[in-house]
Structure 1
Amino acid sequence: MRSPRLSSVIERRLLVNYRVDPDAAARLLPGPLRPQLVRGHAVAGICLLRLGGVRPVGAPRAFGLRSENAAHRVAVEWDGPDGVETGVYIPRRDTASRLNVWAGGRLFPGEHGRADFEVHETSRQVRVALATRDGDARVDVSVEVADELRGSELFADLAEASRFFRRGAKGFSATRSGRHLDGMELRTDAWRVEAGRVHSASSSFFDDPDLFPRGSATLDCALLMRDVPVTWLPLPDLVPGVPLPA
């Protein structure tokens, strides 16, 4: 059964980004994906996402659902029929929603684990913490909205960072079977991001020395999206080791 296109509003999308050694990033990726490099670094991070009004395209917004979600991501590229394409690989997705856990991979692409979230937000401050029910991942991030992007070694300014992440709209997620990756693409005509200044950030994923040896993953910057209407389109499955279809 073909998955439906979904409509929603990104109420909050906090992107916490790390500069990563390319070899460390490559070890996380299935072929035909490879790390997308920026100034010699791979780019990876955590997407802390609250969605509202999630529903099939065309359905009344009154039927839309709301959920807190998280995705660990690596920026990737691959050879497509018209040249190099870009997106993200998602080794794990987690959610506070029981429905997302059940429906992900069944009714729409993207299998999810279950997590408990703690969120504190104002117009200028965002803190998101989560712990997965399987005990494998913990995240705690506190960010303040800033007027400009400062201190990043990946991006010269907010405009450059915005362009990079907008081009990475296609996401391929790991599945429990390991036989394929689920694909989903984000589309919007209202793309806008704000710069964030990180007060504190901890991640059991990026702090794991077995995945990222000492010095191979360094916090770089944070970006924030708020109140952006989007559409999610299913993509053909990717089979590891097999080129993407034309």
Structure 2
Amino acid sequence: MPLLHNPITMQGHIDQCWLLTYRMPIDQFRAILPAELTATEYQGYGFWNIVICHVAHMRPWFAPQAVGINYWHAAYRIYVNLKTPFGIQQGLYFVRSDCDNRLLAWAGNGVTNFNFHYTPIVVNSSVKQTSISIKSTTANAQIVIDNQQPAQLASDSVFESLEQAAKQLKYPARGIALSKPGEANIVSIERDEAAWQHSLRHMQQAEFQLLKQYPVQPEICYEIQPIAYRWLRGYRRKVLMAEQ
């Protein structure tokens, strides 16, 4: 575990971003999550949230844009609940992150709980489609998103409509990790909620090596419009044991 957890507020601009969500029976998350966390449940399922994004000018809040780092980032997150003396906090638990910048992967593992791995990520976009290749030896992935075919709700979806799914699956703007037993590290995100705009996309192909071991089913895929982000300095919270 890192000695420090998100000690500095960071900021950057996400100029390309796709979110893919998968459902999984709620009891399957118990073997993945720390005992203090529970997966957020809807209709007997919990949800994975996979983000693939390009971050521009990532830097400490006080640094000029010119010194920022540009990189591709892919992360496997789970929607979770954390029970604290102040009530339930909802957020995302990071199972794994891949990024194509060696320095960031190294530094990120020193000061965050995001479980970084250096991994080449290749993204090619056109009006017709977007292809994404995550070239990891242990968690490779191939994704093709059709930008012209209308998005469709899966026939076995737990949601009634694409709009309901998008609303329910909009992720809480914070990351949650366990810094030590009985204590959580929380990183909140600042973003202009009015500027957080998305377009539902048709997922033509998606193969994730990491998810093959789990009984997952796809729900929706959406593309986020460019938006500025601030990842705030982490803070600690005492944890109350979750009810399993």
Q: Secondary structure at the match of 1:4?
A: coil
Two-structure CA RMSD over aligned residues (Å): 2.9
Aligned residue for 1:220?
219
Aligned residue for 1:23?
27
State the alpha-carbon separation in 2 of the partners of residues 6 and 170 from structure 1: 14
- Any unmatched runs of 5+ in structure 1? none
Shift of 1:116: 1.4
Shift of 1:155: 4.1
Shift of 1:108: 5.2
Whichever residue aligns with residue 54 of structure 2, its letter is R
Taking the TM superposition and a 5 Å limit, the aligned residue runs for 1:78-93 are 78-93=82-97
1:205 to 2:210 alignment: yes
Q: What do residues 203-244 of structure 1 show as CA deviations (whole Å, max 9, x unaligned)?
A: 111112xxx2xxx211111111131111111323578xx439
State the alpha-carbon separation in 1 of the partners of residues 69 and 46 from structure 2: 34
Shift of 1:172: 2.8
Shift in alpha-carbon separation, 1:200–1:39, aligned structure 2, 3 A: same
Aligned residue for 2:141?
139
Q: Residue 88 of structure 1 contacts residue 168 of structure 1 at CA under 8 Å; is this kept in 2?
A: yes
Q: What do residues 137-181 of structure 1 show as CA deviations (whole Å, max 9, x unaligned)?
A: 111111134697531424444554444444521113589x99987
Shift of 1:9: 0.8
Aligned residue for 2:240?
243
State the alpha-carbon separation in 2 of the partners of residues 223 and 178 from structure 1: 35
Taking the TM superposition and a 5 Å limit, the aligned residue runs for 1:49-128 are 49-107=53-111, 110-123=114-127, 125-128=129-132
Q: Residue 91 of structure 1 contacts residue 174 of structure 1 at CA under 8 Å; is this kept in 2?
A: no
Which stretch shifts more, 73-82 or 138-147? 138-147
Which stretch shifts more, 3-12 or 151-160? 151-160
Shift of 1:191: 1.4
State the alpha-carbon separation in 1 of the partners of residues 173 and 197 from structure 2: 14
Q: What do residues 110-143 of structure 1 show as CA deviations (whole Å, max 9, x unaligned)?
A: 34111111211135532211122xx221111111
State the alpha-carbon separation in 2 of the partners of residues 63 and 23 from structure 1: 45
Shift in alpha-carbon separation, 1:125–1:25, aligned structure 2, 3 A: same
